[in-house]
Amino acid sequence: MLRDIDLNKVSDGKLYGSNDMAKTDCNGCKGCSSCCRGMGNSIILDPFDIHRLCTGLRKSFEELLDACLELNVVDGIVLPNLKMTQEEDACVFLSGGRCSIHSIRPGICRIFPLGRFYENHSFQYFLQIHECPASGKSKVKIRKWIDTPDLKRYERFIADWHYFLKPLQEYAMDFEHGENIQKLNMLILQQFYLKPYAEDGGFYQEFYERLDAFSMPASICSASCTHRIRPPFATT
């Protein structure tokens, strides 16, 4: 999501790396579920989130859309997000005050109450100080808090996905291209979400193959608008 933030207002004013310690641990979830309620459509899912959910729940992307996901426009681009229940405005995976998909929870949920601050084709973490109501938080190493295998590769993917989407979002928000946005959105959904990824642990390789192959058709973009995006980092 493209937004300008004042870190001094929303954080402790520091930027963190994955090997740093930050006060994120509320000493065991007490089931308050505050972070699982009233989130609207803000839990946006990247391709790895979808791969993890599809694999863990043994469902296709289309089946997840029928049950627990929805599509919304994020800065001009249609992307999936977790659905909230109408009755309690709570995540559909919240059960008894706990996350029922904790082991395969999305990246945004995984890093909370941290956020990501992007710059220079990379990002650092910042600690959101107004989001989690729990008191007496303990320091924990961020890589342990995120609890994701091959974290360095995962963080590279997160940065590459963000910087891949950024120029496309800027393109999509230009009203001169309005008639082509639907085509662009379908292209992104088909290339990165609808087609399942292999379950043999090769997500990153397959993702980068799709990323490298992505190009906007001439019917969408003029010859002067070259949106053939390549990852800014090495993929090995």
Look at residues 212, 211, 229 and name the one whose alpha carbon lies nearest to residue 170. 229
pLDDT of res. 31 = 65
Q: Judging by DSSP bridges, how do beta strands 98-99 and 94-95 pair with one another?
A: antiparallel
Distances in Å between the Cα of 215 and the Cα atoms of 79, 132, 211 are 18, 40, 9
Q: How far apart are CA 187 and CA 170, in angstroms?
A: 16
Q: How far apart are CA 48 and CA 104, in angstroms?
A: 10
- DSSP secondary structure, 67-87, as one string: HTEEEEEETTEEEEEEPBPTT
Average pLDDT along the chain: 86
Per-residue pLDDT tens for 2-45?
556 777 777 888 999 999 999 988 877 776 777 888 888 999 99
**Count of beta carbons in the 10 Å neighbourhood of residue 192:** 22
Per-residue pLDDT tens for 53-97?
999 999 999 999 999 999 999 999 999 999 999 888 999 999 988
Q: Calculate the CA 114 to chain-centre distance.
A: 13
Q: How far apart are CA 224 and CA 15, in angstroms?
A: 38
Task: List strand residue ranges (DSSP E) for the chain, in order.
Answer: 21-25, 69-74, 77-82, 94-95, 98-99, 114-119, 122-127, 138-141
